[in-house]
A and B are shown apart, each in its own frame.
Chain A
Amino acid sequence: MTEYEPVIGIEVHAELLTNSKMFCSCPVEFGGEPNTRTCPVCLGLPGSLPVPNRRAIEFVIRASLALNCEVKEYSDFYRKNYFYPDLPKNYQISQYDNPIGRNGWIDITVDGTVKRIGIRRVHIEEDAGKLIHASVGNESLVDYNRGGLALMEIVTEADIRSAEEAREYLVNLRAILTYIGVTNGKMEEGTLRCEPNISVRPKGTEKFGTKTELKNLNSFRAVYRGVEYEVKRQVEALQSGGRIIQETRRWDDDRGITIAMRTKEMEQEYRYFPDPDLVPMNFSAGLIEEQRSLLPELPQARKERFMKEFDLSAADAEMLTSTRAMADYYEEAVGAYPDYKGISNWIMGDFTRMLNSAGIEIDASKVKPVDLAGLLKMIADNVISGKMAKTVFEEMFNTGASPKEIVKSRGMVQVSSETELYPIIDQVISENPRIVQDFLGGKEKSFGFLVGQIMKYTQGRGNPQAVNQLLRKRLSETKG
């Protein structure tokens, strides 16, 4: 049977973090009453004219540079003409011949191998409104609040060969874009939208197969599952003598399948032409260099530095640098107390779990990096036990109080001195003569019971090491 290989290119649309829309001064916010954030310009009313958002253009220049693209001095806006009710002018202002960025790349690592994914173009455009099909009757309504938002489109070369590569590309891309602060990259909210073009071809051949486009991939997991499903579907169709139809398919995350949305038998005719309402852009070398100078250390470089500087594994370093906020957090915490591994474990363990269930990012957490560092130091100094630390952290997470305050107010300081522990140990020994006899008779298990009793009397504050040591000492004295 013929073996097939997938050929995948990905289009990503990222909403830019501007204060106002791409061509008017309407504010950018999430949600809100329909059609409250509109004006004659973003409603495309007769006579209205677009005026470009300078900040959006700078963001796209910055993103292009971060994605290793060429940024030429000349760039311009084109109109993409097609009729759709969510598109107020029935054309979208976009770019065509002269996108802001082109011929870039990013490197991804899959199964330990580095692979370079080409970026064909990075351009700027305006978003469309949102069609809402009314629950009663057969009316459709349109909400133009989203209409005219500044979008960046990033198109790869057809370099991607698996679902794993697709996901890895997206993880890396999102990290870069959020690092440079041009988008918040939230796939669930649709501020980062991923649309892969997928085709398969017999292994060893050059010619591309018929492609389908996938929509509605709202998480990295959905990207992986959607691509994997679609590749399998196409291969099975071809192997059983069928053919692939050029169409757009929607990923159904619950059912785990893709469903045909609309057929694109013919290449759509968009009649692109330069927008006569807008003057071409001419970027000075100074402007481009200024944007380059605003680029922070990017995720790949930071990961490598973390591995070297903090002696972390590749996996840990990648995880910690997956967002700029987390990497900044980590660096600030280890700067306060250099327990590289311990702080890394805390962030990636309990902390991340709690962030996920609270649905927030690390920079929105009440726990200050210096307080996380302080907690680790208290464990190391035997002020509290690892077990107590979990309770303390929970309160830090909920209230934002420092670990010192919490330990103090709750009286949680560890009990480890002989003067405090001996009276309790003696009481437990006298209350449990039979268990003590069992232990002395060689029943090692009984020791654990006695430790448990001591911990009970200390309300868990007993330093386990000290309790162990002092109990053994007393028991051996008893034996003697």
Chain B
Amino acid sequence: MELSTRTAHELHNMLVKKEVSSREITEAVLGRIEQVEGQVSAYITVTADAALAAADAADESFAKGDAPGLLTGIPVALKDNLCTKGVKTTCASKILKNFVPPYNATAIDKLANMHAVPIGKSNLDEFAMGSSTENSIFYPTKNPWNLSCVPGGSSGGAAAAVAADEAIVALGSDTGGSIRQPASFCGVVGMKPTSGRVSRYGLIAFASSLDQIGPLTKDVTDCAMVLQSISGKDPMDSICADVPVPDYLAALKDDVKGLKIGVPKEFFVQGIDSDVSAAVWKAVELLKSLGAECGEHSMPVMEYTLPAYYILAPSEASSNLARHDGVRYGFRSAQATDVDSMFQKTREEGFGPEVKQRIMIGTYALSAGYYDAYYRKAQQVRTLVRQSFEEAYSKFDVLITPTTPTVAFGLGERSGNPLEMKLTDVCTIPASLSGIPAISITCGYKNNLPIGLQIMGKHFDEETLLRVAYTFEQNTSFHKNRPALGRE
């Protein structure tokens, strides 16, 4: 079996037993990148030298007999909106095309400290704004299951890299579904942890109150390993909570007996693909047969989550992205003649259309006279969404829904229809608004494209999510499938 197709937990065991070196693994992954990256375009930057140096450091650490970290020696793809010291971090935007951060994101530091192997910076929609990775200024990423389809977004590069074995695991970021939706489209596991579980320090902000770093992996065990490696309080992020980090690997139990699972009907939206719906219900039936108690539920406020999200996220973005002005770093327009024109031209030339549109929407929503009608109203919806989840969790341990209403769509198919594009996030946005954790795993296929199952849990209860996902995985074989890419 090729090393690049293995999971992190398999490789971790092999490394510990000295059956393989990190250099061998890293070279295998770099070889796989060489083989398929031309078709997939998962990366903006491949950091082969840094990867091999880290691999050697990991091997040295194994040789010395240091206690290994869970990801020591494991190649990791990093979404290119995570600051990496000395390595370009572009956000797939012209405005940051040559930005080299002088510091690491906290999550990156945690991986670096355990000698994880940074294999490259993965592609995304510009500033994480989009659902298809078509909004990258570099190139769109392709879905490894079908190269004429999108991988989802905005962490499309990370999801595609893991699905195509161009990385063992990846870190992405999720604002309204940017980990879960591409995980679903690419047939990998993706988790958005609870808000405050993982430090956001060094994640280039899109919408601060919604942004969260999380894992994209080949299976649930790897997801637990990555989550374990990046969680915990950080003095650099005041939202990051002082809540003890449990042993997530210990939570991986093949047992859902007595667990209460709710299925909120509002997530089976109008226009949902009946095959997606059927696959999700089949999964629910399976969990039922394994001893879970499943019941239908209603959350009427869900109808308002999409509009509320598309007020709140752009509002925060309009302010977060103001700092990209050409003064201190990044792109500066050559057309500037004075301070005002430097601001205007730099931003006019530096941002793509989707980003500009969201900045304008957000600027409008925060303006005096509109604030109450838009921003404040949307915050009120957010409060109602939270209450609605609290009520649901008084009856259920987890909620199960589709991750997306359809499987991956064709490249260019929805770029002319922004509303349809945004509807792909309708099932993932509610968890983002309420700050709860959610995971997407594969529960079927349609036309050889993966179907995603979303499991949502209580605040800081990633353990139960992992347990349900793990049980499902142990009793199915979807997670073992890989796209044929390059192996036909």
Contact = CB atoms under 8 A, between A and B. Distances in A.
Interface of A: 40, 43-52, 79, 81, 83, 85, 88-91, 140, 142, 269, 271-273, 276-279
A46 B327 contact: no
Given A51-B237, A279-B238, A45 B322 contact: no
Contact of A51 (B103, B235, B322, B324): B235
B208 interface: yes
B235 A46 contact: no
Among the interface residues A40, A45, A79, which one has the most CB atoms of the partner chain B within 10 A? A45
Contacts of A277: 205, 208, 238-239
A45 B325 contact: no
A40 B103 contact: yes
A439 to B, nearest CB: 84
A78 B417 CA distance: 35
Contact of B201 (A47, A85, A269, A271): A47
Contacts of A276: 207-209, 316
A131 to B, nearest CB: 9
A261 B401 CA distance: 59
B339 A91 contact: no
A48 B237 CA distance: 9
22 contacts: A40-B102, A44-B323, A45-B329, A46-B91, A46-B101, A46-B329, A47-B83, A47-B101, A48-B202, A49-B201, A49-B236, A49-B237, A49-B238, A85-B339, A88-B327, A89-B322, A142-B327, A271-B318, A271-B367, A273-B319, A276-B207, A279-B238
Contact of A46 (B83, B200, B237, B363): B83
Contacts of A43: 328
Contacts of B99: 46
Nearest to A51: B238
Among the interface residues A142, A269, A273, which one has the most CB atoms of the partner chain B within 10 A? A273
Among the interface residues B91, B319, B366, which one has the most CB atoms of the partner chain A within 10 A? B319
Contacts of B204: 46-47
Given A45-B328, A47-B203, A85-B339, 16 more contacts: A46-B89, A47-B101, A47-B105, A50-B238, A83-B322, A83-B343, A85-B325, A85-B327, A91-B322, A142-B327, A271-B318, A271-B367, A271-B368, A273-B319, A276-B316, A278-B238
Nearest to A138: B338
A46 B96 contact: yes
Among the interface residues A46, A51, A142, which one has the most CB atoms of the partner chain B within 10 A? A46
A283 to B, nearest CB: 16
B281 interface: no
Contacts of A79: 319
Contact of A81 (B101, B200, B328, B366): B366
A83 B101 contact: no
A202 B321 CA distance: 47
A269 B368 contact: yes
B375 interface: yes
B315 interface: yes
Contact of B366 (A40, A47, A51, A273): A273
Nearest to A85: B327
A90 to B, nearest CB: 4
Contacts of A85: 325, 327, 339
B459 to A, nearest CB: 15
B138 interface: no
Contact of B339 (A44, A140, A273): A140
Nearest to B203: A47
Contacts of A140: 339
Nearest to A82: B322
A271 B325 contact: no
Contact of A90 (B316, B323, B363, B368): B323
Interface in B231-257: 235-239
Nearest to A277: B208
B310 interface: no
Contacts of B103: 40, 45, 48
Among the interface residues A48, A90, A271, which one has the most CB atoms of the partner chain B within 10 A? A271
Nearest to A89: B323
B242 to A, nearest CB: 12
A85 B366 CA distance: 22
Interface in B220-279: 235-239
Nearest to A275: B208
Interface residues of B, number: 43
Contacts of A51: 235-238
Contacts of B363: 271
A83 B324 CA distance: 11
Contacts of B207: 276
B322 A81 contact: yes
Contacts of A50: 238
B445 interface: no
A301 B484 CA distance: 84
Nearest to B371: A273
Contacts of B325: 83, 85, 90
Contacts of A45: 101-103, 328-329
A144 B363 CA distance: 27
A47 B327 contact: no
Contacts of A49: 200-201, 236-238
Contacts of A48: 103, 201-202
B323 A271 contact: no
Nearest to B241: A279
A279 B201 CA distance: 15
A140 B316 CA distance: 30
A79 B362 CA distance: 14
Interface in B193-218: 200-205, 207-209
Nearest to B105: A47
A90 B339 CA distance: 13
Nearest to B366: A271
Interface string B290-324: 00000000000000000000000001101100111
Interface in B356-414: 363, 366-368, 371, 375
Contacts of B237: 49, 51
Contacts of B318: 81, 271
A46 B323 contact: yes
Nearest to B103: A40
Given A43-B328, A47-B204, A83-B343, A273 B315 contact: yes
Among the interface residues B96, B236, B324, which one has the most CB atoms of the partner chain A within 10 A? B236
Nearest to B201: A49
A142 B323 CA distance: 15
A276 B204 CA distance: 14
A276 to B, nearest CB: 4
B319 A91 contact: yes
Interface string B87-100: 00101000010010
What are the 7 tightest A-B residue pairs by CB atom distance, in nearest-first order?
A: A90-B322, A276-B209, A271-B366, A276-B208, A46-B204, A47-B202, A47-B83
A90 B238 CA distance: 21
Interface in B3-49: none
Contacts of A269: 367-368
B139 to A, nearest CB: 22
Contacts of A90: 322-323, 325
B201 A81 contact: no
Among the interface residues A48, A79, A85, A269, which one has the most CB atoms of the partner chain B within 10 A? A48
